[in-house]
Chains A and B, each alone.
Chain A
Amino acid sequence: MPQYTLNVNRKDHVVDVAADTPLLWVLRETLGLTGTKYGCGMAQCGACTVHLDGRAIRSCVTPVSMAVGKQVTTIEGLAETHLGKTVQGAWQEVDVPQCGYCQSGQIMAATALLKENPSPSEAQIAAAMEGILCRCGTYNRIRSAIQTAAEDLKGGAK
């Protein structure tokens, strides 16, 4: 099987997997980063959302080969940036999660949104978060947490 060098959360890893293996399973099974979740396997639910060079992508349909030469960030590495830490802090303040299974994907999508657009409107939040499903009903708290994070970023941006 081919070898790939992946940069995940600012560390290089050499992995030995089939070329068509989705990044999701390399993260979870080869690298042990289980914070990124499997929900549908076809980019329908967004539980697998990670950042590729800062942009939110669905790792369940991204072949490992596409991540080579790029920076992969997962929920485990998110707190390394001020933005990521701020978003997680807002999630904590609003107490968003219920079952929690979708929350890694929600947080990764929200962080990518705020990176592009530090003060999104309600409609922009809805558009960015539309692809990440939650069955417990945390959407309103997610919106509130994104707005809280946006406020926090305005205040203490570094």
Chain B
Amino acid sequence: MKQAKMTPSTTAVPSRRKFLKDSVALMGGLVIGFYLPMKSGRALAEAGLEPPKPQVYPPNAFIRIAADDTITVVVNKSEMGQGVYTSLPMLVAEELEADWNRIRVESAPVAQVYNHTTFGMQITGGSSSIPSSWEQLRRVGASARILLIRAAAAQWGVPEAECHAENSRVIHAASGRSVGFGAVADAAAKLELPKEVTLKSPKDFKLIGKPIKRLDTPEKITGRAQFGLDVYIPDMLTVLVARSPVFGGKVKRFDATEAKKVPGVQGVYQVPTGVAVAATGFWPAKTARELLEIEWEEGPGASISTAKMREDYRALAKTPGLTARKEGDAAAALKGAQKVISAEYEVPYLAHAAMEPLNVVVDLKADACTIWTGTQSQTLDHAMAAKTAGLKPEQVKIHTTYLGGGFGRRANPVSDFVIEAVQVAKVIGKPMKLVWTREDDTRGGHYRPMWADHIEAAIGADGKPTAWKHTIVGQSIAAGTPFEPFMIKDGIDAMSVEGAAHLPYRIPNLEVGLHSPKNQVPVQWWRSVGHSHTAFVVETMMDELAHLAGQDPVQYRLSLLEPSSRYAGVLKLAAEKAGWGKTVLPAGHAYGVAVHLSFDSYVAEVAEVSVDNGKVRVHKVVCAVDCGMVVNPDGVRQQVEGGVVYGLAAALHGEITLEQGRVMQSNFHDYIALRFSEMPKVEVHILPSEAPPTGIGEPGTPPIAPAVANAVFKLTGKRLRSMPFDRITLA
């Protein structure tokens, strides 16, 4: 097979000192290391894994300045579309006073220095890349600037305080001298890191807050961007695995006689997750896999039916669960109430369905393992790969490629796709790329959990809520993963009740309970995690209460919010920009509204909706966002647009169902994504703020489903209490 592309491997360097020396000698560069106190591998230790040893890892480096003034920012977050290869370098460049046009980006290797500043491991998720890097990367940039100025000042024999940096040059204004960063980088690299740095005042920002074009666009419009699936290494085989049709099933016996006859097939092997077919390319591997005859030991997963689960969940939702929140006495208040609403909600399992199906390239040798994959979770994947390969952590390298979408799936809490790939590589004994077909990806589990909710709520004579009793039923995402010790307290998985346990509205008697049933279907975080269902439930119920009280949904919410709160801020802004109560909409169109806090950001959305022949159509969505200070406003707009689309696809169409343990959907013909003609116009209004930046990758998603559902009620009088909406008869 001819080779398509080779990813050059980075050279392992045993220590920061040696790396500094090498980088000076080889590249004439400056390397700035930056340490923060870490929680250091607690999750790994809890998982029974050895925490990484920093001394044998590559150096802690975020910036390299070459002699030609090119500045490479090493980014420790995975680029999956959310724009971190642009926004994180902006933080560095702002304080470095770098020439933005000469910034390059490189993905970080796995090393402790690249750990997330609050999660204590290298991971991209939780809409946290900007908030967690905001201080760190500006300090990195400022430290480098100070050293460059110091080095130039020493060369000129002038006081450091008389020099400043601008556009990748150090300038001594008094004498009119200036020098490019590249020319003083060597000297700067030999200086001690400054102990204290002062960061710019926001009024002096040159890049932060400006709409900056993405640095990855040129590669992504020419086909040059390398995703995991685009990695080809010498003598690499392509492997497809036939996995059990039922979660938890095992191979009983198999016959590969016909499969092995397919030209190009190099071998068929039993592996822990099924039967692996190795071939010279994708097509022979896929052709051969279809010819395998496999008998499975299906196990208890074969009895799973989501229709049955729905009944069980609904029944469970009417029984008391573990208490996640209790204020006042909701039961007593409900008993005495005149106006009560009781409602049941259900939302299905959802696949992430990123455009790039999962894939991993593994080059496994006796004493080394090199992995190329688009992962969001380097530290855990690295540790799990080492454990699976039976190698020391320092013998394993992961190259993070571009991710063709992540949405949470590529931060698998149990490293499913990486462990499997290493297991298969061990059996095959050759360099290989394990490819998941779209069908494998859709049926491979690790879904957004299916949830059922029950709410009883009451209002008083003034229309204000007096009681709210909410019970949630759904699998815990953290249970059985290394995240369990941090995320589950007293049996409550924080992700199951987020967005429900802490309501912004004044409700004197509030009770939120949780049931976390278990089954064989693996579940995982999916863009906005628990909020993807709690916002739907809470915000449609608030709409019902407003209706019961005979009040306008926006005014009703505002009357229950702190007037100066950021909730109220975005709600008012969205209503104002949409012309809530003023805009005359076309006949058959109506507005619906929802507001929700997730990942420390506040988002309100007003959706303009019509129902045509029973089909919900969303024409326009007006979003108001308060995510603190904004680094790249165009990036924020992209993320909110994307969040709306992702949430809308799920609200209208998304559904994974199981019968006899088998996933009923397989590809985009039956697991429906939003297509071009269904795309609403999306307006994004950003509330000016001086608060530190908060998340933006996910917060656009939660409000869209309830905003649309509330508009549908206005149009049809029918309450949408389950998703997807296209399963509900509206005609």
Q: Which of A34, A88, A125, A140 contacts B230 (CB 8 A)?
A: A34
Contacting pair B646 A137 (CB below 8 A):
yes
Q: Please, what's the 1-or-0 string for B592-627, where 1 marks a CB less than 8 Å from any CB in chain A?
A: 000000000000000000000000000000000000
For residue A95, which residue of chain B has the nearest CB?
A: B213
Interfacial residues of chain A within 114-158, with CB under 8 A of chain B in the complex? 125-127, 129-143
CB distance from A56 to the nearest CB of B (A): 14
Q: Which of B129-137, B399-407, B655-663, B714-722 interfaces with chain A?
A: B399-407
Interface assignment of A41: CB less than 8 Å from any CB of chain B: yes
Interface residues on A, range: 35 or more
Contacting pair B214 A97 (CB below 8 A):
yes
CB distance from B642 to the nearest CB of A (A): 4
Q: In the bound complex, what is the Cα–Cα distance between A31 and B230 (angstroms)?
A: 12
CB distance from A139 to the nearest CB of B (A): 4
The A-B contact count (CB < 8 A) is 199
Q: Please, what's the 1-or-0 string for A44-86, where 1 marks a CB less than 8 Å from any CB in chain B?
A: 1101000000000000000000000000001110110000000
* Known contacts A34-B4, A100-B220; A137/B642 CB under 8 A: yes
Q: In the bound complex, what is the Cα–Cα distance between A127 and B357 (angstroms)?
A: 26
Q: Which of A34, A139, A142 contacts B226 (CB 8 A)?
A: A34
- List, in ascending order, chain A residues with CB within 8 A of B101's CB: none
CB distance from A43 to the nearest CB of B (A): 10
Interface assignment of A107: CB less than 8 Å from any CB of chain B: yes
Interfacial residues of chain B within 635-666, with CB under 8 A of chain A in the complex? 638, 641-646, 649
Interface assignment of B81: CB less than 8 Å from any CB of chain A: yes
Q: Please, what's the 1-or-0 string for B365-391, where 1 marks a CB less than 8 Å from any CB in chain A?
A: 000000000000000000000000000
Contacting pair B677 A130 (CB below 8 A):
yes
Q: Which of A20, A41, A91, A142 contacts B438 (CB 8 A)?
A: A41
Interface assignment of B534: CB less than 8 Å from any CB of chain A: no
Contacting pair A91 B217 (CB below 8 A):
yes
Q: Which of B213, B283, B356 contacts A37 (CB 8 A)?
A: B356
CB distance from B691 to the nearest CB of A (A): 25
- List, in ascending order, chain B residues with CB within 8 A of A75's CB: 222-223
CB distance from B68 to the nearest CB of A (A): 24
- List, in ascending order, chain B residues with CB within 8 A of A102's CB: 355
* Known contacts A35-B223, A40-B438, A135-B407; A98/B642 CB under 8 A: yes
* Known contacts A132-B676, A135-B673, A140-B679; A101/B216 CB under 8 A: no
- List, in ascending order, chain A residues with CB within 8 A of B287's CB: 18, 20
Interface assignment of B437: CB less than 8 Å from any CB of chain A: yes
- List, in ascending order, chain B residues with CB within 8 A of A99's CB: 79-81, 354-356, 402-406
Q: Please, what's the 1-or-0 string for A87-110, where 1 marks a CB less than 8 Å from any CB in chain B?
A: 010011001111111111001000
- List, in ascending order, chain A residues with CB within 8 A of B216's CB: 97, 100
Q: In the bound complex, what is the Cα–Cα distance between A126 and B649 (angstroms)?
A: 17
Q: Which of A33, A133, A142, A143 contacts B223 (CB 8 A)?
A: A33
Most B Cβ at <10 Å: residue of A33, A75, A101, A139: A101
Contacting pair A139 B283 (CB below 8 A):
no
Q: In the bound complex, what is the Cα–Cα distance between A104 and B340 (angstroms)?
A: 54
Q: In the bound complex, what is the Cα–Cα distance between A131 and B669 (angstroms)?
A: 11
For residue A133, which residue of chain B has the nearest CB?
A: B673
* Known contacts A45-B668, A97-B214; A104/B223 CB under 8 A: yes
Q: Which of A1, A41, A100, A130 contacts B404 (CB 8 A)?
A: A100
Interface of B is mostly: loop
- List, in ascending order, chain A residues with CB within 8 A of B641's CB: 137-138, 140-141
CB distance from A151 to the nearest CB of B (A): 18
CB distance from A64 to the nearest CB of B (A): 10
Q: In the bound complex, what is the Cα–Cα distance between A129 and B679 (angstroms)?
A: 11
Interface assignment of B284: CB less than 8 Å from any CB of chain A: yes
Q: Please, what's the 1-or-0 string for B15-38, where 1 marks a CB less than 8 Å from any CB in chain A?
A: 000000000000000000000000
Most B Cβ at <10 Å: residue of A34, A45, A130, A137: A137
Q: Which of B230, B438, B634, B676 contacts A95 (CB 8 A)?
A: B634
Q: In the bound complex, what is the Cα–Cα distance between A67 and B221 (angstroms)?
A: 24
Contacting pair B438 A74 (CB below 8 A):
no
CB distance from B234 to the nearest CB of A (A): 13
Interface assignment of A3: CB less than 8 Å from any CB of chain B: no
- List, in ascending order, chain A residues with CB within 8 A of B682's CB: 137, 140
- List, in ascending order, chain A residues with CB within 8 A of B649's CB: 135
Q: In the bound complex, what is the Cα–Cα distance between A8 and B223 (angstroms)?
A: 15
Interface assignment of B252: CB less than 8 Å from any CB of chain A: no
Q: In the bound complex, what is the Cα–Cα distance between A31 and B355 (angstroms)?
A: 22
CB distance from B89 to the nearest CB of A (A): 15
* Known contacts A98-B81, A137-B642; A35/B357 CB under 8 A: no
Interface assignment of B506: CB less than 8 Å from any CB of chain A: no
Q: Which of A44, A91, A104 contacts B669 (CB 8 A)?
A: A44
Most B Cβ at <10 Å: residue of A21, A22, A40, A75: A40
Additional 9 contacts, C-beta under 8 A, given A20-B283, A30-B1, A35-B223: A20-B287, A38-B357, A39-B357, A39-B438, A40-B438, A41-B286, A92-B213, A126-B677, A130-B677
- Closest 6 pairs between A and B when the two form their complex, measured CB to CB: A35-B223, A101-B404, A99-B81, A137-B645, A100-B220, A32-B4
21 A-B residue pairings within 8 Å (CB atoms)? A17-B283, A18-B287, A34-B230, A38-B357, A41-B286, A42-B668, A79-B222, A96-B221, A97-B221, A100-B219, A100-B404, A130-B676, A134-B355, A134-B645, A135-B355, A136-B638, A136-B645, A137-B682, A138-B641, A139-B676, A142-B676
Write the residues of chain A forming the contact surface with B, with a CB cutoff of 8 angstroms. 1, 17-18, 20-22, 25, 28-42, 44-45, 47, 74-76, 78-79, 88, 91-92, 95-104, 107, 125-127, 129-143
Write the residues of chain B forming the contact surface with A, with a CB cutoff of 8 angstroms. 1-5, 79-83, 213-214, 216-227, 229-230, 232, 238, 263-264, 281-284, 286-287, 353-357, 402-407, 437-438, 634, 638, 641-646, 649, 667-669, 673-677, 679, 681-682
